[in-house]
Amino acid sequence: MRGFRRDNVKVYINGTLHEKDDAKISVYDHGLLYGDGVFEGIRCYNGKVFKLKEHIDRLFESARSIALEIPLPKEQLAQAIVDLLKTNGLKDGYIRPVVTRGMGNLGLDARKCSNPQVIIITDTIALYPAEFYDRGLDICTVATIRNHPDAVNPRVKSLNYLNNIMARMEATLANCQEALMLNHKGEIAECSGDNIFLVKRGLLRTPPLDAGILEGITRNTVIELAKGAKMEVQEIPLTRHDVYTADECFLTGTAAEIVPVVKCDGRMIGSGKPGAVTGKLRERFMALVRQ
């Protein structure tokens, strides 16, 4: 990428830019000690940040849900992201804003924390090798279920990602690229890092928010694109039976974009190749982000 030197990356921390190797926070920060904080994953394409407002809104919503006060307004944070991209000369890449609870002691009392840390990282990302977008992923159902929404609400994008990490570890041990996570009712929730969609007889299906999923920005964009193409979209409870008998399956996420799935739990989905609807929606999505 033109103008982007990975050995000279700047990281934003509380309004100051630091060299990548010198970007540090306290070991007493509760973001490190307890995963107490929130984050977002955002993409930029050709120098333009995709759905920046929606991501910033979700970051502030996650923070509000856990009673974390972000110490700067939305507009200032958005401008800091744009400025950092220019500083790092990054036109196509990934942005990770993080807000931690701040430094405290070794107890759990959040009232004793001070100075929430606002961190912005910009870098490149490739979640899956290019060949998987052509041939599709193998996924598997894992024993680790999605967090119960009455415990830690999955709609909060928190720094405590152990639930997702343990699920991905299971998939890796099974030689699969992604983990399919069920909710506490045994329904399909989402994958460890992506939302899931199924195509059945021309209908597009995806789990509803109350299945215990993150309301993905890319998920919502795909739903809008599908409706714009006159495709019927159903947000309904789904089971593994629906995955096994689907005509097509694909995953969506900021880093993954739209990636096809051709096998689940060793069972071929549809023809065993990426489907036409998946391809059409991916084309529409890439056209949108490149506008």
Residues acting as catalytic residues: 157
Cα-based distances in Å from 86 to 51, 82, 144: 18, 7, 40
Among 249, 251, 252, 283, which residue's Cα sits nearest to residue 263? Answer: 249
Among 212, 201, 216, 163, which residue's Cα sits nearest to residue 277? Answer: 201
- DSSP one-letter string for 240-256: HHHHHT-SEEEEEETTT
CA distance 43 to 232: 27
Who's near 230: CB < 8 A, 6+ residues apart? none
| Structural tokens at position 182 | 């069920």
| Structural tokens at position 129 | 């090798």
At residue 99, φ and ψ (nearest 5 deg) are: -130, 120
CA distance 58 to 222: 17
**Terminal-to-terminal C-alpha distance of the chain:** 19
